[in-house]
Amino acid sequence: MTPSQIIKILVGVVVFLVVAIYLLAKLATSGFNVDAEVMTKEAVAARLKPVGQSVASDAPPGMRSGEQVYTAVCISCHGTGLAGSPKFGDAAAWGARISKGFDTLVTHALGGFNAMPAKGGATDLTDDEIKRAVAYMGNAAGGKFTEPAVGGAAAGAKIDPEVNGKKIYESLCVSCHGAGVAGAPKFGDKAAWAARTKAGMEEVQKIATKGLNAMPPKGGFTGSDEEFRSAIDYMVNHSK
Ligand code: HEC
Ligand code: HEC
């Protein structure tokens, strides 16, 4: 090597080092500068939410209305039209979907449809809850669906303690009345129920609707008074 070749190589190495140090410094000061706003707990939770979330709602499992399901789950995409989902209340976006018919929409909501995950990703929702949410969203965009009533009764259908009452009891009231938790009159306990019903069924319903000590108002049930009454009738009829 000639001295001039050595000098060229040395200059090359120095230039390389300067550039490398400059780039490293830049990376360290700005490249990894995390925006505090973006990484707050709430912001991270909100971004993680649509996947596999469970439903946060006061209503007990199986008893959520269409609106409650929508607000807890579906809104995360349908609220803004995320990922090509038909936006809530957008009649144009929903028109063609509504004309597929309620049953098809329910099938798609239950099993998933393209970017729409099965049950909106909330696998703890019951089929009836999905139906209610589909009816709720469809109707908000001009559909004329009947939202299945909480407790399983279609609107206008006769409410039967042995059908609707039983269903409500088994999915809700049983958690306390099944074993007599916290002083609840136990299912099948004739003496306990006879003491309660002495004043008449209207009075019992009134008390249970308002709540009493450890008995929450309506036992936590969110459906109609008629359905709630059918659950009381179911318990009382099987306790005499
Ligand atoms: C992760 C986002 C996401 C969530 C959460 C979500 N959806 Fe969807 N949904 C979509 C997308 C995207 C489409 C459009 C799919 C397509 O047409 O390709 C869609 C379409 C639908 C459709 C129309 C199906 C059809 O046949 O046209 C219904 C009904 C529906 N969703 C119901 C629900 C219900 C009920 C919930 C809540 C339980 C829910 N979705 C939650 C993304 C979501
Ligand atoms: C969290 C527990 C809990 C749940 C869930 C619950 N109950 Fe109760 N219930 C109680 C307790 C405790 C009492 C007794 C309250 C007392 O006398 O101090 C009671 C009392 C009652 C009574 C008697 C009221 C009276 O006149 O004395 C009725 C009727 C009743 N419940 C109906 C229901 C129905 C229907 C459901 C389901 C929709 C339900 N409960 C769900 C705890 C519960």
Burial (0-12, 13-18, 19+ Cβ within 10 Å), 75: middle
Positive or negative torsion for Cα 60, 72, 68, 124: negative
Q: Is 22 helix (H, G, I), strand (E, B) or coil?
A: helix
H helices present in the chain, as ranges: 3-26, 41-48, 66-69, 75-78, 91-98, 102-111, 127-140, 166-168, 174-177, 190-197, 201-210, 225-237
The pair of structure tokens assigned to 164 is: 């609707």
Q: What is the pLDDT of residue 174?
A: 95
Please indicate whether residue 239, judged by its CB atom, sits closer than 6 Å to ligand 1.
no
Q: How far is CA 154 from each of CA 45, 98, 125, 128, 157, rounded to the nearest angstrom?
A: 37, 20, 19, 11, 5
Burial (0-12, 13-18, 19+ Cβ within 10 Å), 170: middle
Domains observed in the chain = 48-140 (1.10.760.10), 161-237 (1.10.760.10)
Q: What is the pLDDT of residue 68?
A: 93
Positive or negative torsion for Cα 223, 225, 226, 229: positive
Task: Please name the residue whose Cα sits nearest to atom 30 of ligand 1.
Answer: 109
The pair of structure tokens assigned to 98 is: 């509504």
- If you search the block for the tokens 């009891």, which residue do you land on? 169
CA distance 1 to 191: 110
Integer-rounded Cα radius of gyration of the chain:
30
Mean pLDDT split into 10-residue runs, the chain, 240 residues: 83 79 67 49 51 53 89 96 96 96 96 96 92 96 89 62 92 95 96 95 95 94 89 95
CA of 184 to the centre of ligand 2 (A): 6
Q: What is the pLDDT of residue 39?
A: 53
Please indicate whether residue 134, judged by its CB atom, sits closer than 6 Å to ligand 1.
yes
Spell out the residues 6+ positions from residue 75 whose beta carbon is closer than 8 angstroms to its own: 88
Q: Is 108 helix (H, G, I), strand (E, B) or coil?
A: helix
Please indicate whether residue 109, judged by its CB atom, sits closer than 6 Å to ligand 1.
yes
Q: What is the pLDDT of residue 51?
A: 44
Is the separation of the CB atoms in 69 and 131 below 8 Å?
Answer: no
CA of 90 to the centre of ligand 1 (A): 14
Please indicate whether residue 50, judged by its CB atom, sits closer than 6 Å to ligand 1.
yes
Q: What is the pLDDT of residue 222?
A: 84
What's the whole-model pTM score? 0.50
Ligand 2 pocket list (CB less than 6 A): 168, 172-173, 175-177, 181-185, 196, 204, 207-208, 212-216, 219-221, 228, 231-232
Is the separation of the CB atoms in 80 and 105 below 8 Å?
Answer: no
